[in-house]
Structure 1
Amino acid sequence: MLTLTGAELALEYQWHYLVYAEGDSTEQELRAFHALEPRRDGVYLNYGAGSWSRTLKILRGEGWNVYGFEPHGDASPAGSEVISKRETLAGMRFDGIFSNNVLEHLRHPADELRAMSNLLNAGARMVHATPCFEYLYEYTRFHLFFYLGRSREMLGQQAGLTLDQFIKDDEFMACVWRKSTQ
């Protein structure tokens, strides 16, 4: 998986989502969103907003200004608030970015987190939740990384982020990072 081109990896995910339906991760995504400590006047991004999630519908229904980003079109939820092109994201800024079950799929996680950080307004934070902060679910070709030990701090440092908090509550695990001021 690590040696595939971007197009080959996209094709793998396209085939994957044709035959496999993710479980509903809405509750974990909502927890990640609220861990941002969002403001009502803020703009937020659900990074990796798959079609199985009801998060965007719920949060927008509650009056939050939330967008979704899903680069794999077949996995995208429907709606004008869903962005599928990185070029579109490049022109936007957010007060927070959150994800669930995304970090373990990134081939270049530090680069991807750095790119996300560039989308943040000053003082903004990111919350990324994944069970792969422990060594779980090792028998899947799509989980490319596990973030054990000090890897959470090191990943943040490589991406220009500071780890504010690591949340571990039963099966919910999330890192809260903020853009470093250095």
Structure 2
Amino acid sequence: MCLNRGGALSDFERYHYAFDPEGDELAARLIRRLPQKGRVLELGPGPGVMTKVMIDKGYQLTVVEIDPDSAQIVRGLGAETIVADLEDLQWLEQLRGRRFDAVLACDVLEHLRHPERVLEALRQCLEPQGRLIVSVPNIAYGGVIAALVQGMFDYTPTGLLDHSHLRFFTRRSLERLLWRTGWSPNYWEPYAFPVEQSEFARAWGALTDVQRQSLVAGAADSEVYEWMTVACHAENGPAIALQDAQTLADKASEDLRALQTVYAQEHASLLEHQKAFAQAREIIVEQQREIDALRGPYGGSTMWIARVLHNPRNAMRRLWQAIRLRLGW
């Protein structure tokens, strides 16, 4: 789901967007929650923005898409494509006996009349140690609340109140839905987006400062535009949670070793620089001594000329005294 920018859009435009796979956008974060490799079932990919990135990364993609035009695009990307309505569940027959390492339902559940039926059916599609990755818009977003305060709940072509959204979720309601359908959500991540930059900017700006401060203070998730969660089969929840914790610990250890290596290299470089600076200081001091010796009593040729021009008689007398002193006369 893309943020609402206003204006009439085609179905392709509504769900076609660009993102940096290594960036901080929601699509990039979702893909980073996948296992390192394996078979992925993607529900409702639209024109395949995320699909292409996953294929480029080496995943084996199977998708279920209701729109024939989008399905043709995704098929052209190299994904196995099933054209079907998710809610009639007939597409499951084409996947009978097959299991996937990950299932993606990204910005999909809000478009379904009965998301619980799809979630229950997906259990047969996922490997015992696989993961279900879900994202949904957050109806508790501060922009929605600001609009409601002013009596507005207006559907739009895209965005959080997309006119094709049939169901709305908070983190709590999504969590309860997942538990009821046999899933254990063991990881949550918010996608925050400034209200003043969203489709609700006008409603937000119409509030008083006191109202905005009260809303932010009283609504813990008011800055969360979407929620992402990673779930597993409920019966395998504790084991997978432990496995994920071990993975995070291993990653932290790897990052620490990398930082230690960088520190050692930077420290060695710093010592080399300090040594070079010390040597340079010694050279400068020695050169200064030589300069001082050359300058003699008059501080160098430039100063000598200036003194001669200023007081020739006195300068010559001092020069004669210096010569007599040097020769021991």
TM bin (shorter chain): 0.7 to 0.9
Letter in 1 for 2:129: G
SS across alignment from 2:235:
coil
With the length of structure 1 as denominator, give the TM-score of the two structures. 0.76
The aligned counterpart of 1:33 is 31
The aligned counterpart of 1:14 is none
With the length of structure 2 as denominator, give the TM-score of the two structures. 0.44
1:160 to 182, 189, 196: 182
Larger radius of gyration: 2
Instruction: Write the deviation string for residues 97-153 of structure 1: whole angstroms up to 9, x where unpaired.
Output: 113221100111111111112200101111111224545586144211111252122
Asked whether 1:71 is paired with 2:66, we answer yes
Structure with greater helix share of residues? 2
Counterpart Cα distance in 1 of 2:188 and 2:109 = 15
Higher relative contact order (Cα pairs below 8 Å, separated by 6+ residues): 1
Asked whether 1:88 is paired with 2:70, we answer no
Letter in 2 for 1:35: R
CA 1:58–1:149 in structure 2 vs 1: closer, same or farther (change >3 Å)?
closer
Contact 1:43 1:66 (8 Å CA) reproduced: yes
The aligned counterpart of 2:235 is 181
Give the CA deviation at 1:65. Answer: 1.8
2:45 to 49, 59, 64: 49
Structure 2 unpaired stretches of 5+:
1-8, 20-25, 85-90, 145-152, 156-161, 194-225, 237-329
Matched pairs, number: 162
Structure with greater strand share of residues? 1
CA 1:84–1:141 in structure 2 vs 1: closer, same or farther (change >3 Å)?
same
SS across alignment from 1:130:
strand
SS across alignment from 1:107:
coil
The equivalences for 1:110-129 within 5 A come to 110-129=116-135
Contact 1:152 1:175 (8 Å CA) reproduced: no
1:101 to 107, 118, 124: 107
Structure 1's consecutive aligned runs of 4 or more residues displaced over 6 angstroms after TM superposition are: none
The aligned counterpart of 2:16 is 24
Counterpart Cα distance in 1 of 2:231 and 2:14 = 26
Instruction: Write the deviation string for residues 71-115 of structure 1: whole angstroms up to 9, x where unpaired.
Output: 332332331522225022334210111132211001111111111
Contact 1:113 1:159 (8 Å CA) reproduced: yes
